[in-house]
Structure 1
């Protein structure tokens, strides 16, 4: 067991969640129960899975949660792409969010290679 706040990729995932929440405020009102909630849930799931995994009893369970966090990164990447293609966000905003998501995913992947 370890404190998730001490893990660099959790801190980056948390910053990503905050950025997604800020960016989704600009989405059209008709997306409140659609794309807005999906983006927020998938971003939150990344940080949540990492935190959850830190409370596990063994490394196998921790690794399973990290793999789920990676899957949520993939989901978030698609949703960012969708928001961009629907022209809800400026390309620069989408590119920044995408880069942050990919960075978190790669950091998780690198950590998982230790197991």
Structure 2
């Protein structure tokens, strides 16, 4: 692996979740394409991108800052999931699975941030 972030389990988990969110967003109605679809995809992308950006050639305090951005973006994804559920775009069981997976991801990001 050429880049440090590729070895991070938290980045790998964020990439896995990013794909799940991308697949979910494809099922949203077309009238949400520039609203909720765009928002949830950008937030999920931001989780991955901030972990990668902060991990490479940065000081520990800078990396912590980027992990904080990543954490906030993960929470944004969860909020988008609640909106999708309230609008009937996601079933309860799929919501619960994604919610639990993001709970794990948030804990991973927080643990890494606290370890620095």
The two structures have a TM-score, normalised by structure 2, of 0.94
**Partner of 1:63 in structure 2?**
64
For residues 27-59 of structure 1, the C-alpha deviation after alignment (integer angstroms, 9 at most, x for no partner) is: 000000010000100001001000001124311
Task: Point out the more displaced range, 56-65 or 12-21.
Answer: 56-65
Could you tell me how far apart the structure 1 residues matched to 2:58 and 2:34 are? 36
Matched, 1:109 2:110: yes
For residues 5-41 of structure 1, the C-alpha deviation after alignment (integer angstroms, 9 at most, x for no partner) is: 1000110000000001101111000000010000100
Q: Over aligned residues, Cα RMSD in angstroms? A: 1.0
Extract unaligned runs of 5+ from structure 2.
Answer: none
Matched, 1:94 2:95: yes
Extract unaligned runs of 5+ from structure 1.
Answer: none
Structure 1 segments of 4+ aligned residues over 4 angstroms from their partners: none
The two structures have a TM-score, normalised by structure 1, of 0.94
Matched, 1:35 2:36: yes
**Partner of 2:53 in structure 1?**
52
Could you tell me how far apart the structure 1 residues matched to 2:45 and 2:102 are? 12
